[in-house]
Every structure is written in structure tokens, then in C-alpha cells.
Structure 1
Amino acid sequence: MGKYQADAKQLLADIGGKENVAAVTHCATRMRFVLNDQSKANEKAIEEIPSVKGMFTNAGQFQVIIGNDVADFYNDFSAISGIEGVSKEQSKVAAKQNQNIVQRIIGVLAEIFTPLLPAIIVGGLMLGFRNFLEGVPLDALGGQTITESSVFWNGVNGFLWLPCEAIFHFLPVGITWSITRKMGTTQILGIVLGITLVSPQLLNAYAVNGTSAADIAQNWTWDFGFFTIDKIGYQAQVIPAMLAGFLLVYLEKFFRKHIPEAVSMIFVPLFSLLPTILAAHMILGPIGWKIGSGISFVVNAGLTSSFSWLFSLIFGGLYAPLVITGLHHTTLAIDSQLVADFGSTNLWPMIMLSNIAQGTAVLAVYFQHRGNKKEEQISVPATISAYLGVTEPAMFGINLKYVYPFIAAMVGSAIGGMLITITNTRALGIGVGGLPGFLSFKINNYPMVFASMLVTMVITFVMTYVFRNVKALNKLEPEYDEGGLAMATAGGAGSGPAVSVMDTKDASTAVATPDMVTQEMIYAPVEGEVIMIGEVADPVFSQKMMGDGFAVRPKGQEIYAPVAGTITSIFATKHAIGILTPAGAEVLVHMGLDTVELNGAPFDVKVTEGASVTSETLLAVMDLTAVKAAGKGTDVVVAFTNREKIAGVTLEQTGEIAEQSQIGYVTVKG
């Protein structure tokens, strides 16, 4: 009998039996089910299964967290159920049965725009800096701008337009590339298509409104004798690029099925690309332009009308729930179109304030729960992360857990969003969605931007205290004894004995406790920035479902062992490695986020199962460029998964650090 046969049998019953399983697969830590009827899954019963560490639903998949031994669990599950596993891609296809058409569209939008976000954000920051250089007269310079008074800064300002133009004017190139990447077709054709939409041969989209119809007819057309096509560019246009990109994808897929392989390299690109370019300039481009302009006009009209206070109050309050559903990805396209049409956006400022509100709510919970050392490991980094624009650790790690801080953040965001909107304070583009977001505004807007931030933070902080006393909004709230240690209420989270972790620089000293413990050194597995595990943009890790630990945002590609021990497992897709330390800590080294889908391509593993390792042992080489190109996170996560043996993880160093550097210790129970 397998080690997990009893648990696997119980899990099969609790998810509704064999007939309720449409597909099953697994990654480095989780069983991934596609269920025919998810309501049949008894989540309370599943939580009681000894080997289950947690569960959640994502993209139509019911995911059950097992840990390092998920492969053994999967084998026992297959033997018990008689269900054969499927590939990750097959599982994704099957999961679509649990998604409605809106969820599928949103999922596609997310996968298209997510790889573009780093460029869009940095572009917004550079535009804000250029605005300061060339648009703000300073008394110290005799009423001149910095560019007017300095040759150097005038040169810097001119040079910065190069990347800004590449990011925003040539945005259609990124969109068409991302669509072909997402849909699995030829990416270079997507790039070529995008270039044909923004070519210098075309009349720039920003000059169209200032050019007469007669001038366009005379100087900006292709004349084919019996018909003409306008030579109009689609710089910064979102929907024309999306329509053209999807047409290219479907034409390529169609012709690949019907053209013999021997000549497909010639005729598939030819028959796919040329008709798409023609359709883009004759039909899709003009239609898409009108659709995009119509959407941005409606949004802009709503946010500048006499009812702007109501529109902004609703959107500001409901943006955080949109993040949970995934609907927030649709705002990226709208923001981009607003910038293209009006030169600025009044939507993104509310998003910035919503992120700040979520961070402030966690900060308030931190003050309310002072003394809860375990929670502080989540709340402190989650606050910092939200203030820098990444809200998932804050929302999933703290605010949704207790509910009342999430509602308080919605109230603060609604009031702040209304204030910044009714004062017509607009951003030059999409920037960092947190406190640094002020850099995306004109400098003369700074007073109102800071005032809106302050109002959002104050209201959120106060309402977090107020809503704490509303029982209907308070879930799993801990009570406190006089010593300040959090004690969970009956049935609440965090129940169990408190553990004291020694705070000392002498990591070789054992802690004197009733149970014998051992402290083992922890080392940075890769060069980069060491962060708390609560900052990882994956709730499975940030909420410590896999156990305590830390992560590194890598600068290097060589991944070393974070502890001394023995290699116990190497996942088939090479992205995760298990290590057992001499004291009995089970360590998972997880390279990248959601990289199981890459099927091992970016990873070159240098060790074998059973090998002894130290901090000087090279575990693997991770191709960062390939991971980023696939749209995946690069964080290297180190999690101590057998929580029953881990008394605490102490990091003595965070921030930038070299690989193999000692950063702390783990305390392991005997």
C-alpha cells in the first residue's frame, strides 16, 4: 500500500468521486483537478485530510496543495481512482469548461497585457520625468524650465523620448507579438504585422485629426486604380492591433491545417500575413479605432461629467474586488486608449489609490495585532508590496482573511478616487500603482495627488479600526492576552501553541525549549534581492500554504543549495528540487512562479537524487531571459514544507546579496 493511499482515497471521495473528475494533473506542490461540478467538492472535509496543506481555485482548476511529495500522492491517487493524468495544456483546455465566456475573454486579455506591463510602467515613469524637465518653470532658474536652462538636461529629455516613443507609439507591435505568443503561432509574424501598423510610411495617428480629408486623399493613400486605401498609422491604438493580431493567428492556424508541410514554410506566412495586413488597413483598423475611441470617450465622459463623483466613487470602491475576479485586466486596454486619445488617463489614478488603500488596511491590522510575530512575517512585507503596487500578498494574505480590512480599504479607495477624479487630476500614463505613482503626474498636480493619497490612507486606517468591531465584517479575528501573543478564537486561524524563536546573531546556539531543537544555516541560493515569503506574487507561497521560508528576486542564473543536506527529489519539469537537511527539515527550492508549464526548457539541473549538497553546490542554471519571455515570475522560492518540524525561520539579512551568502537560520524541532 502506498504511503498516501488512505489520504488519496479520502480526497477522491471528498471531491465528488471519480465521475466528478474531468481531468487531473500535478505540478511541484499541487494536485490540479478540473471538476465537472465544483460544488460537490467538500472543502471542509478536504482540509481535514492529513497530507493536505490547503486548496484554492484558479483558472477553472481546483488545486489541492500537498507539498514536496505530490508526485507520490499523485501516483497513489491514480492507483486508487483509475484516472490517468493529462498534460498541463490538456488540463488547461479541460478547465475552460468551468469558465464562462467573460472569464475566458478576461483570461486572454490578462495573458496578452501582462508581458507588456514592465515596459508600460517604466514608460509612464519616464514620461512623468520628461514632463518635469520640460514643463515646470522654476523660480530658482529665473522662471525657465530645466531643459531651457541646461544643455545637458535638454539632451537627457530628448534622449528619453526614444524609449517613450518605442513603448507607447509602437505599442501595437507589442500587442500583436503578445497575441501570437499567447496563441502559440509564429511570433515574428506578429512583430511584422505590428510594424506595418506603425510604419513611418504612414500618417502618424496623432496627426490624423490635424490633417484634412483632402490632404489624406491626395498624399496619404495607396491608389490601386479602382480603389484606394488610406495610409493611416495606428500608433498607440490598442483595439486595432488586437483585432489584427487575432485575425493573423486564426489565418495561420487555418492554413497550417490545409497546406502541405513541404511548402508550409513559404505559403503559410504568405497567406496569413498579407491578407491580415490588407484587412487591418481596410477594415479592422478603422473599425477598431472607432471602437477604442468610443470606449475611451464613454469612460472619459463619465469621469468628467457632472456625475463624475458617482462614477469614481463606484469604480474606486469596486476596483479591489475586480482584482479578485480578474476583471481588472480590462482596464489596461482602456487606460492605454485614454492616453492615446486624450494624452492622459483619469482611470489609472483611482487604481493607484486602491493599491495604497489595501496596503494601509494591512498596516492598520499590523498595529491591531502587535505581538503576533507569525502574522507580522506576512503583514509587514505585504504592506510594503502594496505600497509599491503589488496588492495580492496584502489582499490574499491579510485583508480577505479577516474581511473587515478589505471592506475598509474599499471605502478609503472610493473616497480617494472620488477626490482625485472631481479635481480632474489625470496621469500621463500607467505607472507604479502605489506611493511612487505620483511620478506619473504633472508636477502641478502633485498637491492634489498627495492630498488624495493622504485622504485614502487616513480613511482606510480609521475605518479598519471601526469595522473591526462590526461582527458581520469580522472573520477569524484574534484576541489577545496581556502578554501580547495572539490567541485564536475557537475555530479560528492560527490555533495551536505559540513558538518562541531566538533573536540572536549566534546562529550556532540551540534554543532551550521543552523539545530539543536544532538551528541550521540558511544561504542565498542566487545573487539578487532577498525578500520575505509574504512578498511573493503567488498566494500558495505568500500565505505560507507550503510553509515558512523566503525568496530571492534573482539577478544571476546559477541556483545554489540554500541549505546543507541530501537531494530527495527533482521534479520532472526541472523547476523544483527537494532537499532534506540533517536535522530533518524538508526544503523546496522552487525556481520561478508557475514555471511548471515551461516543461523544463529554461532549467539545466546539475545534481541528482541522493546527492549530498552544501551551500557551495550548484543545483541548477535558470535561463532568466527564457522565463521572462514566457511571461513567468522569476522569484526563486525556498520553502520549509514540513511545518510540524519547523519552529521558525529567521532572516538576518534581506535586500541585495550575493549567492551563497549566509542570510539566517531555520529552527528545527527534534
Structure 2
Amino acid sequence: MDYNKLSKDILQQVGGEENVDNVIHCMTRLRFNLKDNSKANRPQIEALEGVMGTNISGSQFQIIIGNDVPKVYKGIIDNSKLSGEKTSGGSSGQKKNPISAVFDVISGVFTPILPAIAGAGMIKGILAILVALGWLSNTSQTYIILTAVGDGAFYFLPIILAVSAARKFGSNMFVAAAIGAAILHPDLTALFTAGEPISFIGLPVTIATYSSTVIPILLAIWIASYVERWIDKVTHASLKLIVVPSVTLLVVVPVTLITVGPLGAILGEYLSGGINFLFDNAGLFAMILLAGSFSLIIMTGMHYALVPIMINNVTVNGFDYLMPAMFLANMGQAGAAFAVAMKTKNKKFKSLSYSVSVTGLMGVTEPAMYGVNVRLKKPFIAALIGGAVGGAYLGITKVAAYIMGGSAGIPGVTSFIGPGLNFVNALIGMAIAFVAAAVAAYLIGFEDVPAENSEEQTQDAEAEAAATKEASIVSEQILSPIVGKAVSLSEVNDPTFAQEIMGKGIAIIPEKGEVLSPVNGVITTLFKTKHAIGITSDKGAEILIHVGLDTVQLDGEHFTAHMKEGDAVKVGDKITSFDIDALKKAGFDTITPVVITNTMEYKDVTPLKSGQTSSNDAVLDLTVV
């Protein structure tokens, strides 16, 4: 995969660098804030090799890449003046509804910090396992240091969030970090824990705990962004360096302590309390509904909007019920993709399905979701069923997450280390979701992917179709199907043909845009793209005629079919026609390989012609003995 080329193509198709306000990436998606989403050519983007799909969430234009998204993102940054920061142009000016705007902000703030949270969560999980197995004492110095490593990102989460939020809101990131540091200052914490009334210039300060919290700092930096811009606007340029940050800190920190912080803390408690109330009183049905629909939330990219609630639940309450639902949804996607891998007849799609199923088990499901399940539709429904069935078990056993793990997959199962059989039940529920989705996908079935999405798949399908024909293999000569110049296969700029991977043969540079039958036989394959034709001769030769290189991308444009699969043909019958000039103008090489795909059944396949050739000339000699 040429990630550099893909990144350039993506930049071009989203409307060019000048249409990009900013771009970041999560584990599987490029997330663009475009000045005008209508300038993005979604069909062309989705047709790019390496792109699994696109999605618009709120005003954010998302391109699903999969595990290689960091490489594509790096290519975009390297090939542009973008930096992932918000450009000076500000927001795009596109109208957002309030809900979409809130989701966009939360997603944009939390996406960049996920690696820090994931890494710290994984360390906390490993530490919990070491203590549970008795391999490490919870009073040892090693334990204390590892605890600091794992808890640091969560305890000082307000500072990390402040930096990310400032980038999203367009304010100074370091001033934002200073605000976060101020509300976490040890002296202030000690003042809060003393239990005495607190005031600031006569105004009462509500006691609140800010370590590990989410909502208070988000509200604080949102306010800070407006304060900073207003002060910057009214301050003389010579004084801005000192006045703007000083006044921003003096205004925002006290306002946070007096009003915003306590309000945010109360809001967080109500959100957590509401979710816990729902699961305490309708745990079974709540978990079935959430686990069965979580993949739909992931499709919109708005699962990141739930991250602050999950973090708040774990860090403040000590447990969370949302995270288990995400695990089950991921297991469902992995299970459905696994069933597709077992059932599909397409060799390349089978390999892809197995691969994305494993990736899904590891907690990254968008490759499975977009590359397999959504593409085939019915397996996606099966994945939702699997998540719901697993949710029923977790709802009955009241499984919760006790650690903010590294991923919602097998590497993150340490999230479930907790009291009683919580960990065991979590593993059982995940297995149930995987198996239920796999069984459902296998039984419901799907319309298999024809082997036409790549050159090798095209040839695999042709060979399989031709192999079903009963024919006695005898020696024969193959006439030229195209008028033009005959050359060696080694001159084809495609290793599949040049290295004779699909069989021996010859190539023809066409001078007339017609494909004529080179033998008496039957058309065994004529793809809807009309660029590739498979013919089985009456004497048993299996012939692939592939007009041009990469012409499958044209989806049949500039090609006209004059026959269909199953038609009997005689030497010289016109099968398809094509516009040579249009193909060249579109940038495609028109060289046409003529390959004997059952080469192994012959003693020798010998080219007979070099240079100018007509439809009456024999170009290949097939010898049996």
C-alpha cells in the first residue's frame, strides 16, 4: 500500500488542503473538519484502495481507514501545511444543530487523549492481575511506582483534557493547562479536605473534588476560550503577552471554583447516577438494548461522546456499565466477520474476513464493520444480535467494568477485574456474543462477494467458473482476439501477468477496440465491468482476456458487451468493444494480456507471434504431449 499516494488522493478528494479546517485521527478514522463538506467527493474517496468507507457525524467528515490510519494521517501532514491544529480560518461556518455540536466537541476533545488513557488503563489492569496472583505486594515500592504510572493520567486528567479542549476551542493550550493545574494544586486540595467554609474575596467557594473529573474542566476551558478572545481583542498588541494570559487565569480559575466546577461535578454525578439507576432497576433489558445497539453508535463515531461518562463512572463511582456493552458489540462484529470468513467462496474476501475478525477481537472493529459486515448487510444485523444475546448474560450477572482498560477487546479484559465472579462472567458474556453473532450470520446467510474487486479476484473467479465445464484437453492453437501489436507478457506492467502467476500467454497492444473470440467455445465469465472475459474452448483451453490494466476501476465505462455469460461463440465473434482513446485519456494502459489459466494442464504454452497481428493470426500454441 502506497500511503503517501493515498494521503495525497484523500486531500484532493476532500476539496484540497484549502478546504480543511483541521484533521485528527482516532484508532481507525481520519476526522476532518472541512470548511464545506459538499466539496468532498465521497464516491471517489470510497473507491480509493485502502479506504473502507466515509461517514459524516455532526459536521465532522470521517474517512474509515482501519489499523493503518496513523500512516495515512502522517502522509497527509507530510504532504500539506496542516498540523492537526485548528487553522486560523476558524470554524467552517456550516450550521450545526446543538446536539451535533456538543458531540463534535466531545469527540474532538477525547480522541487525541485516548492513547494516554488506554496506556494508563492497561498498566492498571496488569497491576491488578499481579496483585491478584500474589506476584506483587500492594505495599511494595514497585507497586507504588506502578500505581503512579497507571493512575497519573487519570488523577491529572483535567490537565490533559484542558490541553485537548483548548486545541478544540481555539484557545492557548498552555494557559488551559495552567487552569487545570490550579484546580488540582495540593494546597487547594488540602483546603477542600479541611472541612471548613471557603470563600474568595467574600464569595463562597463550593467544596468539590476535581482530580479524575471530566465535565468541570471542559466547561472551564470553554469559558476560558471566550474570555481569552475578548481580552485579546481589547488589549494593545504590546501588552498581549502578559495581560491576556494573566487576566484569563485570574478570571477563569475563581469562576471555575465558585460556579462552573461545582456545577460540572453535580452534572457528572447526575449522569452517573442516572445510568446506575437504569442498570440497577432494569439491568437485563438495559444491557440487552445497549449492547445490541452499540455498533450503531460506533458507526456514527459518537461512542467517544460516552467516554467522559465511562471515565467519570470508573474514577468517581468505582465501576461502569457502559464499557461492557462496548465489549459485547465488538465481539459481535468479530463473530459475524468470522462466520463470513467460514462461508464465503471468495478466497481474498475469506482472508480479509479472518483478518478483520481477529482485529475485532483485539477491540478495533471498524475494519470488520465497514470492510465486511456493513458491506454484506445481513452479517451486520447478526453482529447486533450477538451483542444483544451477550448483553442478556451480562445483564443477568450484573457485570461491570472496574478499570478504564486499554481497549474494548481481549487486551482490555483486565477492565473486569473486580469482586466475585465479575471477571469470569465478563469473559463468558464476550464468548456468547462472539458465538451468537457467528451462528446468526452463518444461518441468516449473505450474498457473497463476487471475485471482481481486484485483478487476482477476477482471475480466480474466471478459473473456478471455467473449471466447471466438461472438456477434454487436447492440443490447439489460439488466434489473436484483438488487432494490434503482440508482445511478451513480461512487458505487462503488472506482476500478476508479467510473472505468469495466472498462467502463460501473450499480450497485445490494441489498435482496434474490439475483442473477438479466439476459439470455438463458451463464454464462462463476462464481468459486469466488461473488461475481463473468460472463455473455455471446445478443446479444453481456459482463456482469460483482460483489456487494459486496472480498468476494473472504470466499472464498465467505455466498454460495451455484445454477448453474455453462457453464450456459445465461434472464432471471430465480437464479444465486447471498447474506446481505446477514452481509456488512454483516462490514464489507463490498454495493453491486453491473453492468458491460459490452466497452463499446468499443458506440456507447453508457446507464443507464436511478435509484432503486428490480426484476428486471423495464431498467437499461442498449446501442446498436451
Give TM-score, length-normalised by structure 2. Answer: 0.61
Which residue of structure 1 aligns with residue 274 of structure 2?
298
- The structure-2 alpha-carbon separation of the partners of 1:283 and 1:404, relative to structure 1 and needing over 3 Å to count, comes to same
Residue pair 1:183, 1:249 contacting (<8 A) in 2 also: yes
Residue pair 1:120, 1:167 contacting (<8 A) in 2 also: yes
- The structure-2 alpha-carbon separation of the partners of 1:246 and 1:496, relative to structure 1 and needing over 3 Å to count, comes to same
Report how far residue 263 of structure 1 moved: 0.7
Which residue of structure 1 aligns with residue 389 of structure 2?
415
Which residue of structure 2 aligns with residue 388 of structure 1?
362
Give TM-score, length-normalised by structure 1. Answer: 0.57
Which residue of structure 1 aligns with residue 36 of structure 2?
34
Q: Which amino acid letter does the alignment assign opposite residue 58 of structure 1?
A: I
Which residue of structure 1 aligns with residue 430 of structure 2?
453
Does 1:171 find its partner at 2:147?
Answer: no
Report how far residue 204 of structure 1 moved: 7.1
Q: Secondary structure at the match of 1:201?
A: helix
> Partners of 1:426 and 1:240 in 2: how far apart?
25
> Which of 183, 196, 207 matches 1:217?
196
Which residue of structure 2 aligns with residue 58 of structure 1?
56
Q: Which amino acid letter does the alignment assign opposite residue 216 of structure 1?
A: G
Give deviations 1:264-311, integer Å, cap 9, x for gaps.
111111121211000110000111100000000001111122x11111
- The structure-2 alpha-carbon separation of the partners of 1:352 and 1:498, relative to structure 1 and needing over 3 Å to count, comes to same
> Partners of 1:646 and 1:315 in 2: how far apart?
53
Give deviations 1:227-263, integer Å, cap 9, x for gaps.
4435644011111111111111111112222212111
Q: Which amino acid letter does the alignment assign opposite residue 424 of structure 2?
A: P
> Partners of 2:204 and 2:52 in 1: how far apart?
62
> Which of 344, 357, 363 matches 2:332?
357
- The structure-2 alpha-carbon separation of the partners of 1:507 and 1:49, relative to structure 1 and needing over 3 Å to count, comes to closer
Residue pair 2:288, 2:395 contacting (<8 A) in 1 also: no
Does 1:203 find its partner at 2:189?
Answer: yes
Give deviations 1:416-444, integer Å, cap 9, x for gaps.
12322332222223221112221222265
Report how far residue 90 of structure 1 moved: 9.0
> Which of 329, 337, 358 matches 2:312?
337
Report how far residue 411 of structure 1 moved: 1.0
Does 1:158 find its partner at 2:144?
Answer: yes
Over the matched positions of the two proteins, sequence identity in percent amounts to 24
Equivalenced residues, count: 439
Which residue of structure 2 aligns with residue 181 of structure 1?
167
- The structure-2 alpha-carbon separation of the partners of 1:243 and 1:642, relative to structure 1 and needing over 3 Å to count, comes to farther
Structure 2 gap ranges (5+): 1-14, 24-29, 65-84, 464-494, 509-547, 552-586, 594-625
Residue pair 2:363, 2:409 contacting (<8 A) in 1 also: yes
Over the residues paired in the alignment, what is the CA RMSD in angstroms?
Answer: 4.6
Give deviations 1:582-630, integer Å, cap 9, x for gaps.
x9999xxxxxxxxxxxxxxxxxxxxxxxxxxxxxxxxxxxxxxxxxxxx
Which residue of structure 2 aligns with residue 439 of structure 1?
414
- The structure-2 alpha-carbon separation of the partners of 1:646 and 1:310, relative to structure 1 and needing over 3 Å to count, comes to farther
Q: Secondary structure at the match of 2:171?
A: coil
Q: Which amino acid letter does the alignment assign opposite residue 467 of structure 1?
A: I
- The structure-2 alpha-carbon separation of the partners of 1:256 and 1:331, relative to structure 1 and needing over 3 Å to count, comes to same
Which residue of structure 1 aligns with residue 78 of structure 2?
none
> Partners of 2:392 and 2:242 in 1: how far apart?
56
- The structure-2 alpha-carbon separation of the partners of 1:49 and 1:434, relative to structure 1 and needing over 3 Å to count, comes to closer
Which residue of structure 1 aligns with residue 442 of structure 2?
465
Which residue of structure 1 aligns with residue 448 of structure 2?
478
Residue pair 1:361, 1:406 contacting (<8 A) in 2 also: yes
Q: Secondary structure at the match of 2:188?
A: coil
Residue pair 2:340, 2:350 contacting (<8 A) in 1 also: no
- The structure-2 alpha-carbon separation of the partners of 1:133 and 1:25, relative to structure 1 and needing over 3 Å to count, comes to closer
Matches within 5 A, 1:518-533: none
Q: Which amino acid letter does the alignment assign opposite residue 34 of structure 1?
A: D
Which residue of structure 2 aligns with residue 16 of structure 1?
none
> Partners of 1:95 and 1:161 in 2: how far apart?
45
Which residue of structure 2 aligns with residue 127 of structure 1?
124
Q: Secondary structure at the match of 2:247?
A: helix
Q: Secondary structure at the match of 2:36?
A: strand
Residue pair 2:216, 2:265 contacting (<8 A) in 1 also: yes
Which residue of structure 1 aligns with residue 291 of structure 2?
316
Q: Which amino acid letter does the alignment assign opposite residue 404 of structure 2?
A: I
- The structure-2 alpha-carbon separation of the partners of 1:116 and 1:423, relative to structure 1 and needing over 3 Å to count, comes to same
Which residue of structure 2 aligns with residue 609 of structure 1?
none
Report how far residue 346 of structure 1 moved: 1.7
Q: Which entry has the higher C-alpha Rg, 1 or 2? A: 2
Report how far residue 56 of structure 1 moved: 4.3
> Partners of 1:107 and 1:244 in 2: how far apart?
18
Which residue of structure 1 aligns with residue 111 of structure 2?
114
Q: Which amino acid letter does the alignment assign opposite residue 399 of structure 1?
A: N
Report how far residue 450 of structure 1 moved: 1.5
- The structure-2 alpha-carbon separation of the partners of 1:644 and 1:459, relative to structure 1 and needing over 3 Å to count, comes to farther
Q: Secondary structure at the match of 1:425?
A: coil
- The structure-2 alpha-carbon separation of the partners of 1:498 and 1:119, relative to structure 1 and needing over 3 Å to count, comes to same
Name the stretch that deviates more: 280-289 or 381-390: 381-390
Structure 1 gap ranges (5+): 1-20, 66-86, 139-144, 469-473, 480-485, 518-582, 587-640, 648-670
Give deviations 1:487-536, integer Å, cap 9, x for gaps.
57xxxx7899723599xx9999543344559xxxxxxxxxxxxxxxxxxx
> Partners of 1:175 and 1:50 in 2: how far apart?
35
> Partners of 2:47 and 2:408 in 1: how far apart?
40
Q: Which amino acid letter does the alignment assign opposite residue 448 of structure 1?
A: N
- The structure-2 alpha-carbon separation of the partners of 1:388 and 1:155, relative to structure 1 and needing over 3 Å to count, comes to same
> Partners of 1:165 and 1:62 in 2: how far apart?
34
> Which of 96, 104, 129 matches 2:94?
96
Matches within 5 A, 1:637-656: none
